[in-house]
Each structure stands twice: as C-alpha cells, then as structure tokens.
Structure 1
C-alpha cells in the first residue's frame, strides 16, 4: 500500500469537505437486503468557536521523550506532558485570563480560549506550535437496532460461520473498540476493565446508550458460554474507548486524545476497530500521525462507509476530490473493509474502491446489544469480522466479492 509523507502532510491545511457519518446505515432511500426501509441520516458538523487543537513542534515533542518537558523545549520541567500543558496554559492566560487546557497529550493540547484562531495562529513558526486547528463536534443520527426476540440458547450466526469464526482459542491480545461505549455488564462480552477509557466527559466507557459499540464488540468476540451468540474470536478481551456520547456526538479533539491513548497502551497483536468515516479533501495530519504510531504496535481495521461511493483511496494525487477518511489511509497495518451479504454480493449500501482490502459480512448481522441481542447492517458490522480474524492469526481467503463496482473484487477474509 502507498504511504503518506507525514512531514508534508503536517504542513497542509486540513479542509473539511463533507460530514462525518457513523458507518452502520445507508445514506440512500432504498430497501436493504432484509427488506426494511433505510433512510438518509441527519448529521452535521459544527465548529466549537472557543476550542482549538494546538499541535506542538517536533522539538517540544522530542523534549518530552527525554523528560526535558518544557513548553519551548529548552528547559527541564521535571515532568512530562502535564508540565508542557501547564506552561502552555500559563502563557495563554497572559493574553486571555479565562484560557483553559481541556486535554493534552505529548503531541498536542486541546484548549478553550476566546482569543480566536487568528490570534493563536501568531504562535505558528515559533519553536513551540506547529499548527492550529479549530475543534468541532460531529453529530450522528443512530437508528434503533432491531431487537432479537428468539431463543437465547447459544448459536453461531451465519456471518460468523461464513468467515470461519466461533472456535475458541487462547488469545493474549485485545480488541480496542473506539465507539459509543460497550456494555460492560453484558454476559457475552469479556470486558477489559483495565484499559477501557472514556473520552466523553461525564460518561463511562462501560455504558452504551446507542448499542453500536456493543454490537461491534459481540461480532469480534462474544463468549462461547452456552448462551446468545458467538463471536469470531470468542472470549477475546474488549477494551472500550468511548468517543461518541449518549446524544450521538463526537468531539474531534477528544477523539484525537483517544487515538493517542491507544497508541500509548496498545501492544503487539492488538487490533483497533474504527467504524466511522468522513468525506474530506485532505487527511488530518494529527490523526494520520497517531494512526502511524498505533500501527507500529497493532493493526487497525476501518469501515469503508455506507454511501455506495468510491473511497478514492488510490486518488490522493488528484486535488479537490473528496476521499473517505480514515478508510482512505493506505498504509501497512491499516485495513479497510467493505460489506457483503449472504451470497457474497457487495451490499447495496457499501462503499468500494481499490483502497479496500477485504470484504466481510455486513447485512442483517445478529450480535450483542445492551440487555440482549439485535440485528444491524453496515460496514460498521463488516469491519469487526476482520478484527476477530486478525486477533486469531493470519487472514485467509478462498473467495472474492461478487459485483464489486471497482472492477477488482475484494477478497473475503476467513480464518
């Protein structure tokens, strides 16, 4: 796969062309394979006027790596990223007494200030700040997952059988699910308390009011316990990293914090699931940098999206053409997944493109939801199949997607 030049991208101005959408529903008024109506999602992106993401220069970042963590990278502060953030807050308050650091990592800080982007941009070119981005919130509309009302006796759904999953094996690695949270009380989920974390203020990672993250978790690793369903990699540990709140909103700056958290704690063999995408002209430099840090340790699986569009993952040389990110990040260790139905046909809603790596089942998928089980469709449901397969070892394929619109059928990943 092609790789990006991180230094060049970090200097680019990030231009948002489209809107984020959660990858579990179709954007067109059409019938899906189950015959139920799929409506367009209501969604919007709204800037947060007084919140900004300040990316430190490499000089400052390197100073933290050697424990010489001061804001200008020249003095020993005695601690690490907190010292840098505190120094930043002190300097900002000289200009705005109400300036606050909302969050920080070794690479950037999320701040609240009334100074405005133009004033903050004066920091660019210094030895301290490399870029200033306006923070924003992305609003998703979730349709209710259709509840399963049948017997709770354990069975292996068609989609798990299709990919050769459902057989228990000892897996030391974990799955990281960045989503709406995961129901930690669900009897079919091996919830990882130690590393689960919420980046939504006032909400816990182990509660999922939308059901989306819990559904994904069950596909990956629902327990083989004699009840309910079985996942691709039964009993695998699920680390819930909550980035979408109970109202269906994602704060982009806090999402970047979540990626940084995963980059810090992920271990060899772990796999990360990202089931949301966006249409934009350029990749986000900080997001790309953090994904690169993660794939230094773990694999990342990304839903291709549900707009029946080409992800344009191989068209990065064409200016002003919107691509589907993060699905279009073509790099080693990052896998983009389209959705297929029971007949191995490309799902009617699924995105496609030469940047897609695998196709997996994504239509009428039965999995765990808070308090029980339910059906959902989308590339959000396809991606976690590959997560489970990667956790179990090498992914195989003995067949290909039918009716792939890009002319090069995606392999269907199996165990």
Structure 2
C-alpha cells in the first residue's frame, strides 16, 4: 500500500504544473509513516522527483504538490489530506506617520528606548533580568542580521522557503519584530525589551508577508529540534488548520512558549489563528494612553495586551521604521517572557499566562467589551517570578 502511494505521489510531482497545488498528506499510523519514510529512502535513487516531497515528522506527514487530491480517497484508511494554502499573513501595517530615522525626534548619535519598551517598564527591570541567553525564534519574514542593533543577538536561524540561503529579511516585518524583542544598541540606536536574549530567524514568510502552512510547520519543527524557549508568531489567518494546530501542540508539549498576535480587525470576542489555539498566548494591542488600540481584536480570548500602536523599531539595511499592529504587541510580550525565564527557568504556558495576567497593569476599554486581563508589565512580571 505504501509503495503504491509513493509511486502515485512521484507521478504527481513529476508532472507538476499550473494545475497543481500544495497539500499536506498525513499518515494515521506512525508505523505506516515510518515504513513510508524507509521506502522513500530506498526509492530516491530511482525516482528523481521524491526529493521534492517534504517530510513533516511532527504530524507524521509530508507536504507536496498534487494535481488532484481526489485519487487519495482509495488510501483514506491510511492517510488524511489537507490543502496547504498560502493563508497566513503578518499582522502589521505602516503607520500614517511612518518616519525614517533621519526624521525622528532624536539624534542619530544617541541611544533611544521606544515608548512601548518604556511603558511596560522594561528598563526598570533590567537590573534584575535582560533575558540573558533565552532562545527566541521569530517565525516571520527573516531578519536583517547585519543591522547594528541586532547583530550581537542574532544567534542562528533557517530559511524555510529557500533552504540553501540564509534567513535574510526581504520584507522588513521580521526585522521590526526582532528589534522590539531584543535590539541591543551600544551608544546609538534602539534598545528592545530583552536586550540580552538570543534571536533565531525562521524565515517562513515571503517578501509579501504570506506563508504556506507547511512552511510554518517546518519552522516550528526546526524550533523544537533546536530547543528554542519562545516562538514569536506575529501573524494570523482566519481559518483553522488541523496540521498546524497539531504541530503547535507538539511544541507546547515540548515546553516551548508560543506567543501569537490576535489580529487587526478590531473585533470583540473573535481572534485569528494560531492565537485562537489553546496552546498559545494570545496578544492584543494597546496605545500610549493604555487603551485597547482601535484596530486590535479584543475580549476574553486575549491573554495579555501590550503596546502595538506606532511602534518604532529596526528596519532593513540598518534603518528604522514605525509600524502598528498586534504583531508589534506580540514582540513586547515575547521579550518580557524571556526576562521572566532568565530568572526562573522553564515554565509551562499555563504558568506564564497566569503570571502575566497577575502582574499586568490596568487598561481602559469600551464598556461593551469585557477584559479579563491588562497590559503587560515587565517589572511586575519579573518581580512576581522572583518571589
């Protein structure tokens, strides 16, 4: 049965064309999946299209191009199939007041702490913790690892889209996120929330800020293998994916803390995936006056809020940029969790959620919206874990 399936998939891969689309094939039995892996290893020398079959071991499956998934119905007792759509999108947009560094209200020759980092009281907590050696993976568009404020802290990564290339950012979003998490300028530039954390760039999103589900899954698997402590997921999608949920659950069970943005639709009680999965920490965005940002999703499904409006951070080619979104809020939260873990060590996602809520600052919201949490407070969070 496995051999017939492999030959059929090979034929599909061989004749890949405009009528083909990506799918995720999952085996219902671990034994059958392992048998299939063994057969693929044996048949690769004679079937030249098999290298294009991407294994996804965390979910006992593969990602590949198929012309028609309907023919897999004859293997329904063995496998299940899910369309691998490019549906994940980054959660950010340029602010109307976007400025280059030369236009900013501070001199080029001085160090600058962005308002969000100051509002959550990260600088006052640095005497106790700076996130030293905590490993944070940013599954995003890559990172400008030559940026002067980031090059000290980028410790590694992977380009999921083009495996032979470095995870260089060709969009800017991933670099912006990384700057808020752990920028570490010396005499000039910006400082992030956890300036001594270790950043890992996992490039699963293209230059347009979109990604296939299977590429995100591969990125999460890479994080599990490399013992990452925290995964920042500043992206979302409207539809659920069973394959992605199961992979995130695997990471959760491995002790990885996953922080996800809730979405920028301004909705109450509804948030995007993967923030909606119970294995993640869902983040909403606030403004300078500690109100829920107009664009942010909100409600009881949000675990914590953080600054996300007009956030100034790193950009491509050593520059700086201002963006708004729950993406930006999520990066603040990842930084604070790194500070907490540097003091206390490994914690479960449930423990982290409880501690973040317990130590949060009160925020304002519309009367029609019920909030079960507040804005993240780095100083109180670190004090809480120390006690």
- For the criterion TM > 0.5, the same-fold answer is yes
Cα displacement (A) at 1:330: 1.9
Q: What is residue 36 of structure 1 aligned with on the other side?
A: none
1:160 to 117, 138, 152: 117
Q: What is residue 276 of structure 2 aligned with on the other side?
A: 328
Where do residues 101-112 of structure 1 align in structure 2 (5 Å cutoff)? Answer: 101-106=52-57, 107-112=60-65
- Does structure 2 retain, via aligned residues, the 8 Å contact 1:341–1:347? yes
1:282-307 per-position Cα deviation (integer Å, ceiling 9, x unaligned): x3221111111112322111101100
Q: What is residue 70 of structure 2 aligned with on the other side?
A: 118
Where do residues 383-402 of structure 1 align in structure 2 (5 Å cutoff)? Answer: 383-393=330-340, 395=356, 397-402=359-364
User: 1: distance between equivalents of 2:131 and 2:260?
Assistant: 25
When residues 216 and 48 of structure 1 are mapped into structure 2, their CA distance, relative to the original with a 3 A threshold, is farther
- Does 1:136 pair with 2:85? yes
User: 2: distance between equivalents of 1:148 and 1:409?
Assistant: 37
Kindly tell me the number of residue pairs found equivalent between the two proteins.
329
Cα displacement (A) at 1:248: 3.3
1:137-168 per-position Cα deviation (integer Å, ceiling 9, x unaligned): 24859855732323231021211011121426
User: 2: distance between equivalents of 1:335 and 1:386?
Assistant: 9
> SS of 1:392's equivalent?
helix
1:80-130 per-position Cα deviation (integer Å, ceiling 9, x unaligned): x5x364469799x7xxx967633112221112243x10112322213xx2x
Mean CA deviation greater in 161-170 or 251-260: 161-170
Mean CA deviation greater in 388-397 or 180-189: 388-397
1:369 to 311, 315, 322: 315
> SS of 1:256's equivalent?
helix
When residues 98 and 85 of structure 1 are mapped into structure 2, their CA distance, relative to the original with a 3 A threshold, is closer
2:301 to 355, 377, 383: 355
- Does structure 1 retain, via aligned residues, the 8 Å contact 2:264–2:325? yes
Cα displacement (A) at 1:324: 2.1
> SS of 1:325's equivalent?
coil
TM-score computed with the length of structure 2 as normaliser: 0.77
User: 1: distance between equivalents of 2:89 and 2:334?
Assistant: 23
1:144-193 per-position Cα deviation (integer Å, ceiling 9, x unaligned): 57323232310212110111214263622211100011101011114666
User: 2: distance between equivalents of 1:50 and 1:88?
Assistant: 24
Q: What is residue 207 of structure 1 aligned with on the other side?
A: 168
> SS of 1:60's equivalent?
helix
- Does structure 2 retain, via aligned residues, the 8 Å contact 1:304–1:311? no
> SS of 2:84's equivalent?
strand
Q: What is residue 101 of structure 2 aligned with on the other side?
A: 148
1:333-386 per-position Cα deviation (integer Å, ceiling 9, x unaligned): x21010000111110100012110001001111111112111111100000111
Q: What is residue 255 of structure 1 aligned with on the other side?
A: 216
Mean CA deviation greater in 252-261 or 228-237: 252-261
When residues 413 and 86 of structure 1 are mapped into structure 2, their CA distance, relative to the original with a 3 A threshold, is same
- Does structure 2 retain, via aligned residues, the 8 Å contact 1:311–1:328? no
User: 2: distance between equivalents of 1:84 and 1:196?
Assistant: 30
- Does structure 2 retain, via aligned residues, the 8 Å contact 1:277–1:304? yes
> SS of 1:219's equivalent?
helix
- Does structure 2 retain, via aligned residues, the 8 Å contact 1:204–1:242? no
- Does structure 1 retain, via aligned residues, the 8 Å contact 2:184–2:192? yes
> SS of 1:241's equivalent?
strand
Q: What is residue 199 of structure 2 aligned with on the other side?
A: 238
- Does structure 2 retain, via aligned residues, the 8 Å contact 1:54–1:132? yes
> Which 5+ residue runs of structure 2 have no aligned equivalent?
1-17, 341-354, 379-387
When residues 365 and 373 of structure 1 are mapped into structure 2, their CA distance, relative to the original with a 3 A threshold, is same
> SS of 1:160's equivalent?
helix
Q: What is residue 59 of structure 1 aligned with on the other side?
A: 30
- Does 1:70 pair with 2:35? yes
- Does 1:277 pair with 2:223? no
- Does structure 1 retain, via aligned residues, the 8 Å contact 2:88–2:235? no
1:290 to 234, 247, 250: 247
> Which 5+ residue runs of structure 1 have no aligned equivalent?
1-46, 64-68, 72-80, 313-322
When residues 88 and 363 of structure 1 are mapped into structure 2, their CA distance, relative to the original with a 3 A threshold, is farther
User: 2: distance between equivalents of 1:117 and 1:202?
Assistant: 26
User: 1: distance between equivalents of 2:208 and 2:284?
Assistant: 27
> SS of 2:35's equivalent?
coil
2:20 to 17, 26, 49: 49
> SS of 1:324's equivalent?
coil
- Does 1:172 pair with 2:107? no
User: 1: distance between equivalents of 2:150 and 2:55?
Assistant: 31
